[in-house]
Structure formats: structure tokens, C-alpha cells
């Protein structure tokens, strides 16, 4: 059996994807005979953005034996309760997409039906008042979720904002401590086998030739192995998602850090602002069809409120996915596998699920084609679901002020997304497919934030008097208010929790 096993695994690239894969796979194989080598080029460097995460990242590093406090200290991290959308619905209005629930489901009927019934009865309320995560975020406060979820009106989760290069360094430390070998060299040539076209080895700038049975391509957008060597093909989604460029810049960190990512609509895209302990991350994600690089840069510079730490960096990308993420003996991970855009911070989370897929479907040397088929099918569906969630944010805007936002309204929704929106608007139904990264609570936050509200209410509530819902729902809001009042500010929490030892 040992004969048929993959013996040499080569990871190409030492950005966030490469080092996450190295750390996680080394641990997965528990000191077994699999040899893992990572080759990266310090000269080329990593992309250096990717600072906002979703809560799954905490499960990822916990599985490596790291605690929240350890990771936060090592990466200058702050807490993220969700995302605040500014001006996406209309100029001057904001809403929060929290990681967590709104209110409590009663008698097996989702909470939002009760919330709508109360409003129909003449008592409209803000759905964020039922979310402890959103309410803490609005108040600039933070505390970890109570252990007993029943003790509060809504449960929530949290993620991190971290310095991407420090996080990659941390992953590198974990990987190397556990036996991953690192080579700092440029890959100058990819050698293919003449019989089956698989990758045989890599020629490196230091004169070495590196052989492998299986290669994980984490080389970033270019996809050195998956695309340049194997020509896996790329599905371009620019007709659905218009943004294809970003200016990114770090600025001084002044004032109390917000416990959320700020994303603000601009003329032809949106701007992120991510608070870290030692600085802020900022960027303008825009569509080059609608604004010039120079004008986008000027908009960004005018909007960042604190001193810039360097000249902004321009990054270009094509929203879409690699058609065959697993091709022959190469599996692409991270930006090499595709990229939608930074909204909703899905790219690192897709690295996590990619690693899970690699573990679950890890091949032998015969590379059974069924494994690659399953991997590619799963990856496609997952990426399409995430894409659809992001499209919703643009399509639902009611700004109407620029051609960019008007054209976003006119996008032809993919069929699955169309069905989801229709079913929700008709009667508050959620459709949840397999491979969905975002739970119904996240969809609810975006629907409510964009005022896409159900026209019908669940018939289970036909016998419920709307007036009678007033007191129990008021109690839920009160429980949220009390919990917020007892929480420390985000800054005070960080000082206590992740103070250097
Ligand atoms: P890279 O960081 O590009 O790493 C590629 C590696 O390959 C490097 O180590 C490089 O040296 C190596 N390499 C390349 N060519 C060679 C060669 N010839 N020889 C040797 N080595 C080579 N994701 C989130 O989850 N949250 C966010 O908030 C977020 N914001 C983003 C904002 C922008 C504008 C962009 C573009 C992306 C953002 N992302 C975000 C995505 C995130 O940055 C990436 O998913 C993450 O950084 C992983 O990148 P990577 O490791 O795949 O690629």
C-alpha cells in the first residue's frame, strides 16, 4: 500500500494560501512519511492584502492548536463582529451584516416572520435591535459570545482583522516547527512528463530541480502550474461582478478600533477600511470600465481620514474561477484557484474549505480521476454560491447616481440566485443549497439591509395576533440592550485580551 501513496507533496507559493496549506496538511498527516516542501520566492513576495476574515478562520487556527489570544497577539489583530455597509442602499444610510442571528425562532418558525408580523400590526422595528452582534458593533463594543446561548436574545460569532503578512509568518512558524521544508527560490521552469502530461519537477533559480508526486499551486493570480503549465482555463465572471481593480494602502491607526469592517460605496465600486492594532488597511475596489485608475486613486486618497504609510498599490484581477481547480497532479488553492473580489472576505475562507477538500479527497499516486471530478464539482458549486451572494449586494442597491450602480441593478441574475430572491420576497423562504458558505442569517442581513422584505408571512402565524407579539419582541430587544450595556469597548477588550505577554 505504501508504494502507491503520495510521497512528495510540493506547495508552490508562500502567501497566505501556501503557508495555511503547509501548516494544516503537515498536522493532518500527523508526522507520517509524507514529505512536504514549500517553495516561495522572497524576491517576488506575496500579495500582502487579505486582512478581513469570517468566523471560520478561528476554527481553522484552533485546529492547529492556536488560541484566539495567541493569534491576535502575533498578528496585531482586532475583533470583527461583521461588516458595516455605508451608502450601498442609498447615500448616507448604513446597515450591519453581523455574524449571527436576529432574534429567536419561536415554535419552529423563523424569527423574521414574527418581526414582519409585528411591523404589519403597526409596530415597525429595526432588525439590528434583535442582533447582539450588530448592536455591539454599532456601539463600538466587544465581548465574546456568552457560553449559554439561551441566556441572550441572539447568538453571534466573531472573526478577526489581522495583518496578512504576520498571519502568513505565523502559519510558516507552525508549518516549519512541524517539519515542512522551505526553499526560497524562484521557479524558472515547470517540467511535464511526456507520457501523461503531469508535472514531474520544477527547476529553481538556485539550480535545484524539485520533484513531486502532487503539487499544490498557491502561486497567486498567475497560476504558475495550474494555468501557465497545464492550461486549466478560467471562467470569467466580469459580466456579473464588475470590479476588477483595487488600490490598497495602509494608514496610521488612530482612535478606538471599530469591531467591524467598514465598506463604503463610491462612484464605481467601494472602499474598505480595516482596523488593526498598529494601523488601518484601506482600499478602493473599482470597475475599470467606469473609472480611470487616476480618478479612483484620487477618490481613495481623499477618503482615507488618517496619514498614509506608503504610496497606494494597484492590484488588478479578473473575477472568476479556474475551470479545473484540480488538473492532473496539480491542485490550485488561494488566488491561483480564482478570485471573486474582496467583498464579504471570502477568499481566505475558500482557502480553508479548499484545504478541507484536499484532506478529504487526498489521492494516491494513481490519481483516481473520480477524486478530481468530485473536487472540481464541489469547488465550482461553492464558488458559484459565494458569487451569487456577492452579486446580491450590487444588484439590490438603490443608489442610481452613477452608471456603475445603475448597471449593477440591470445585471441578469444567475438562475439559482433569482430563485432564492423570489422565494424570499414572496414569503420569507430561505433556500439553502449544499456548499453554501453563508447561512440564512447572513442572507437575512443583506435582504433587510437592502429593504428586500417578504411580501407574505408564514401561514403558521395566521392565528397569532400581531399586537400580542409586542411584549415578547420588546423583551428580546431589551435583553440585547442590557447585554450591550454590560460589554466593554472594543479597545478595552483588546487591551485586556491580547495584550503582549
Ligand atoms: P499570493 O499572496 O499572491 O502568494 C503567491 C506566492 O507564490 C508568493 O509567495 C510568491 O512568492 C509565490 N510565487 C509566485 N510565483 C513564483 C515563482 N515563479 N517562484 C516561486 N514562488 C513564486 N481575502 C480575504 O479573505 N479577506 C480580505 O479582506 C481580502 N481582501 C483582498 C483585497 C484585494 C484587493 C485582493 C486582490 C484580495 C483580497 N483577498 C482577501 C484575497 C487574499 O489576499 C488572498 O486570498 C490571500 O492573500 C491568499 O493569496 P495567495 O497565497 O493565494 O497568493
ipTM computed for the complex: 0.99
Architecture of domain 2-77+162-237+319-385: 3-Layer(bba) Sandwich (3.50)
In Å, the largest CA–CA distance within the chain is 78
| pLDDT computed for residue 36 by the predictor | 98
C-alpha 116/C-alpha 114 separation (Å) is: 5
Per-residue pLDDT of the chain (501 residues; tens, 9 = 90+): 567 999 999 999 999 999 999 999 999 999 899 999 999 999 999 998 989 999 999 999 999 999 999 999 999 999 999 999 999 999 999 999 999 999 999 999 999 999 999 999 999 999 999 999 999 999 999 999 977 655 555 689 999 999 999 999 999 999 999 999 999 999 999 999 999 999 999 999 999 999 999 999 999 999 999 999 999 999 999 999 999 999 999 999 778 899 999 999 999 999 999 999 999 999 999 999 999 999 999 999 999 999 999 999 999 999 999 999 999 999 999 999 999 999 999 999 999 999 999 999 999 999 999 999 999 999 999 999 999 999 999 999 999 999 999 999 999 999 999 999 999 999 999 988 888 999 999 999 999 999 999 999 999 999 999 999 999 999 999 999 999 999 999 999 999 987 665
Q: Which residues are catalytic?
A: 80
Per-residue cell: 395: 444588484
Residue 13 alpha carbon to ligand 1 centre in Å:
9
Compute the Cα dihedral for 120, 124, 127, 131 and give only its sign: negative
> Distances from the Cα of 123 to the Cαs of 105, 118, 126, 460, in angstroms?
19, 6, 10, 20
Helices (H) and strands (E) in the chain, counts: 14, 21
Residue 35 alpha carbon to ligand 1 centre in Å:
24
| pLDDT computed for residue 49 by the predictor | 92
Domain with CATH 3.30.70 in the chain: 245-316
Ligand 1 atom 12 nearest Cα = 13
- For a pocket test of ligand 1, which of 12, 15, 286, 318 has the largest count of ligand atoms closer than 8 A to its C-beta? 15
| pLDDT computed for residue 348 by the predictor | 98
Closest atom of ligand 1 relative to the 17 alpha carbon: 51
Per-residue cell: 276: 488593526
Q: Are 20 and 60 in contact (CB under 8 A)?
A: yes
Q: What is the DSSP letter of 145?
A: P
Closest atom of ligand 1 relative to the 246 alpha carbon: 34
CB of 218 within 6 A of ligand 1: the answer is: yes
CA trace torsion 347, 309, 72, 348 (10° rounding): 10
Residue 167 alpha carbon to ligand 1 centre in Å:
12
Closest atom of ligand 1 relative to the 351 alpha carbon: 45
Is 5 strand, coil or helix?
coil
Domain with CATH 3.50.50.60 in the chain: 2-77+162-237+319-385
- For a pocket test of ligand 1, which of 16, 20, 313, 337 has the largest count of ligand atoms closer than 8 A to its C-beta? 16
CB of 491 within 6 A of ligand 1: the answer is: no
CB of 171 within 6 A of ligand 1: the answer is: no
Q: How far apart are the first and last CA of the chain?
A: 47
Closest atom of ligand 1 relative to the 336 alpha carbon: 52
CATH C-level class of 245-316: alpha beta
CB of 340 within 6 A of ligand 1: the answer is: no
Residue 455 alpha carbon to ligand 1 centre in Å:
43
C-alpha 54/C-alpha 75 separation (Å) is: 16
- For a pocket test of ligand 1, which of 11, 19, 44, 312 has the largest count of ligand atoms closer than 8 A to its C-beta? 44
- CA-angle at 177, arms to 175 and 179, nearest 5°: 70
Strands of 14-74 (E only): list them. 35-40
| pLDDT computed for residue 497 by the predictor | 87
330 burial class (0-12, 13-18, 19+ CB within 10 angstroms)? buried
Q: Which residues contact 360 (CB under 8 A, 6 or more apart)?
A: none
Ligand 1 atom 3 nearest Cα = 220
CB of 223 within 6 A of ligand 1: the answer is: no
Amino acid at each position: 500500500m505504501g508504494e502507491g501513496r503520495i510521497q512528495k507533496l510540493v506547495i508552490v507559493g508562500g502567501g497566505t494560501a501556501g503557508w495555511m496549506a503547509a501548516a494544516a496538511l503537515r498536522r493532518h498527516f500527523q508526522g507520517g512519511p509524507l514529505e512536504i516542501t514549500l517553495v516561495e520566492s522572497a524576491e517576488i513576495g506575496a500579495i500582502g492584502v487579505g486582512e478581513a476574515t469570517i468566523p471560520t478562520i478561528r476554527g481553522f487556527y484552533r485546529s492547529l492548536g492556536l488560541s484566539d489570544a495567541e493569534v491576535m497577539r502575533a498578528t496585531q489583530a482586532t475583533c470583527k463582529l461583521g461588516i458595516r455597509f455605508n451608502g450601498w442602499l442609498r447615500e448616507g444610510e448604513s446597515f450591519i451584516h453581523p455574524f449571527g442571528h436576529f432574534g429567536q425562532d419561536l415554535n419552529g418558525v423563523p424569527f423574521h416572520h414574527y418581526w414582519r408580523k409585528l411591523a404589519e400590526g403597526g409596530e415597525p422595528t429595526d432588525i439590528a435591535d434583535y442582533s447582539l452582534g450588530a448592536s455591539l458593533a454599532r456601539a463600538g463594543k466587544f465581548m465574546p459570545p456568552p457560553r449559554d446561548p439561551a441566556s441572550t436574545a441572539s447568538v453571534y460569532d466573531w472573526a478577526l482583522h489581522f495583518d496578512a503578512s504576520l498571519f502568513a509568518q505565523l502559519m510558516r512558524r507552525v508549518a516549519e516547527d512541524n517539519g515542512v521544508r522551505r526553499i526560497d527560490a524562484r521557479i524558472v521552469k515547470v517540467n511535464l512528463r511526456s507520457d501523461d502530461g503531469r508535472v514531474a519537477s520544477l527547476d529553481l533559480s538556485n539550480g535545484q530541480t524539485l520533484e513531486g508526486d502532487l503539487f499544490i499551486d498557491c502561486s497567486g493570480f498567475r497560476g504558475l502550474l495550474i494555468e501557465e503549465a497545464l492550461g486549466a482555463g478560467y471562467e470569467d465572471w466580469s459580466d456579473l461582478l464588475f470590479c476588477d481593480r483595487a488600490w490598497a494602502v495602509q494608514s496610521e491607526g488612530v482612535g478606538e478600533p471599530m469591531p467591524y469592517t467598514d465598506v463604503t460605496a463610491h462612484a464605481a465600486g467601494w472602499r474598505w477600511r480595516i482596523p488593526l492594532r498598529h494601523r488601518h488597511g484601506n482600499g478602493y475596489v473599482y470597475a475599470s470600465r467606469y473609472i480611470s485608475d487616476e480618478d479612483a486613486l484620487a477618490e481613495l486618497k481623499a477618503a482615507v481620514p488618517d496619514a498614509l504609510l506608503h504610496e497606494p498599490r494597484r492590484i488588478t484581477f479578473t473575477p472568476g474561477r479556474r475551470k479545473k481547480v484540480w488538473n492532473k497532479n496539480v491542485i490550485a488553492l488561494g488566488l491561483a484557484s480564482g478570485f471573486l473580489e474582496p467583498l464579504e472576505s471570502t477568499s481566505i475562507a475558500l482557502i480553508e474549505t479548499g484545504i478541507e477538500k484536499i484532506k478529504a479527497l487526498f489521492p494516491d499516486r494513481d490519481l483516481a480521476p473520480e477524486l478530481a471530478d468530485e473536487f472540481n464539482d464541489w469547488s465550482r458549486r461553492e464558488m458559484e454560491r459565494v458569487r451569487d451572494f456577492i452579486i446580491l449586494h450590487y444588484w439590490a442597491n438603490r443608489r442610481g447616481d452613477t452608471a456603475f450602480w445603475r448597471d449593477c441593478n440591470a445585471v441578469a441574475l444567475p438562475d439559482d440566485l433569482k430563485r432564492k430572491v423570489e422565494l424570499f420576497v414572496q414569503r420569507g423562504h430561505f433556500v439553502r443549497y449544499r456548499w453554501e458558505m453563508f447561512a440564512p442569517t447572513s442572507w437575512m442581513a443583506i435582504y433587510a439591509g437592502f429593504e428586500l422584505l417578504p411580501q407574505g408571512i408564514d401561514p403558521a402565524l395566521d392565528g397569532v395576533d400581531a399586537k400580542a407579539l409586542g411584549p415578547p419582541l420588546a423583551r428580546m430587544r431589551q435583553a440585547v440592550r442590557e447585554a450591550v450595556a454590560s460589554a466593554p469597548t472594543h479597545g478595552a477588550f483588546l487591551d485586556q485580551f491580547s495584550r503582549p505577554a
